[in-house]
Amino acid sequence: MTKKLLASAALLSVLAGAGLAETPPLEQKERYKVGFAQMESNNPWRIAETKSFHDTAESCNWDLIATDAAGSAAKQVADVDSMIAQGIDVLFLPPREEKPLIPAVMKAQAAGIPVFLVDRSVDPDVAKPGEHFVAFLGSDFIDQGERAADWLIENFEGDQGIIVELEGTTGSSPANDRKQGFDERIAQDDRFQIVASQTGDFARDLGRQVMETLLQAHPDVNVVYAHNDEMAIGAIQALELAGRKPGEDVTIVSIDGTRDALQAIIDGKMGVTVESSPFFGPLACEVMGKYAAGEEIPGWVQVEDRIFTADNAAEHIDEAY
């Protein structure tokens, strides 16, 4: 174990032993100093989420401190540290990965700051809602993966589906759960085989590069399941460069509901995207208000997701991001 890991393990056991495993109350006041520690801003989903917090700051009376960790869990931890030093009243945190952000959650809580996890969660074996943080606000990622698989099972017309899976950020809750939901469901239909599953870090460029490489090894691929739309769009670019016809000879299945994905569905290149909404600002305002008023908050404030296909993509593209 490295020194750093030992130090954070020690911190965790000190905090647990000190009986701090209870979420701090939130005072009711006119204005709040609110921290939002964003993990990265390299895709439309993240940008839409950050904008949603900025838009909400006005209507919810927040002085918002928003940071951008530029894809580094270590920077995200440091950003939380600096917010604690600046005296925020409440923290909204989308933990980039499940484990490295746990010390940041514990530290904020130890400083008397209620923590709400938004859009991604942490390792449930180590940090728990109602104890170490107030609640997780977000989607059911296992269900998203299952719904993507169900759509494929119902709509795939060939005899044999050769699937390449593009995974999200390694160690992140949506990557873990979207994989589990899809893989388990698809294993029940023996027409399908997942021949490769590799991370594209939820990023368009990496999705494209990984798809290019996997195409060489598996030229017979006829299904791509991407854990988000950005990687799906990257995969479409790689397939087209290789002379393939996404939507005709390759079925593309994805998650999020970005504008580019809805356009790809309208253009006939993508089959489905299961929604995962980035608009967390208003929900954050509402849940925080209830918490300050002493209301009981469920450990998981679940967001309901729609599904976008050729049947409704055109109807929803104007509201997409």
Among positions 116-135, residues that touch ligand GYE (CB under 6 A) are 119-120
- DSSP notation for 28-48: --S-EEEEEEE---SSHHHHH
Identify the helix (H) or strand (E) that includes residue 67. strand 62-68
CA distances from 259 to 50, 104, 121, 271, 305 (A): 17, 33, 25, 14, 16
Minimum distance, C-beta of residue 264 to ligand GYE, in the bound complex (Å):
15
Instruction: Work out which of 134, 276, 283, 285 binds ligand GYE, going by CB under 6 A.
Output: 276
The C-alpha angle 115, 119, 286, rounded to 5 degrees, equals: 60
Instruction: Work out which of 23, 26, 36, 46 binds ligand GYE, going by CB under 6 A.
Output: 46
Among positions 78-117, residues that touch ligand GYE (CB under 6 A) are none
Minimum distance, C-beta of residue 64 to ligand GYE, in the bound complex (Å):
20
Closest CA to 152 of 64, 282, 255, 38: 255
Among positions 280-309, residues that touch ligand GYE (CB under 6 A) are none
Minimum distance, C-beta of residue 109 to ligand GYE, in the bound complex (Å):
22
Q: Extract the tokens encoding 171.
A: 């160690």
- 256 belongs to the binding site for ligand GYE (CB under 6 A): yes
Among positions 148-207, residues that touch ligand GYE (CB under 6 A) are 174, 202
- 247 belongs to the binding site for ligand GYE (CB under 6 A): no
Nearer to ligand GYE, 107 or 120 (CB): 120
Helix ranges restricted to H, the chain: 3-17, 44-59, 73-85, 102-110, 141-155, 173-186, 204-217, 229-241, 259-266, 281-292, 313-316
Choose one: 38-46, 76-84, 180-188, 292-300; the region binding ligand GYE (CB under 6 A): 38-46
Minimum distance, C-beta of residue 96 to ligand GYE, in the bound complex (Å):
9
Q: How many CB atoms lie within 10 A of CB 281?
A: 25
Tell me which residues touch ligand GYE (CB under 6 A): 43, 45-46, 119-120, 174, 202, 228, 255-256, 276
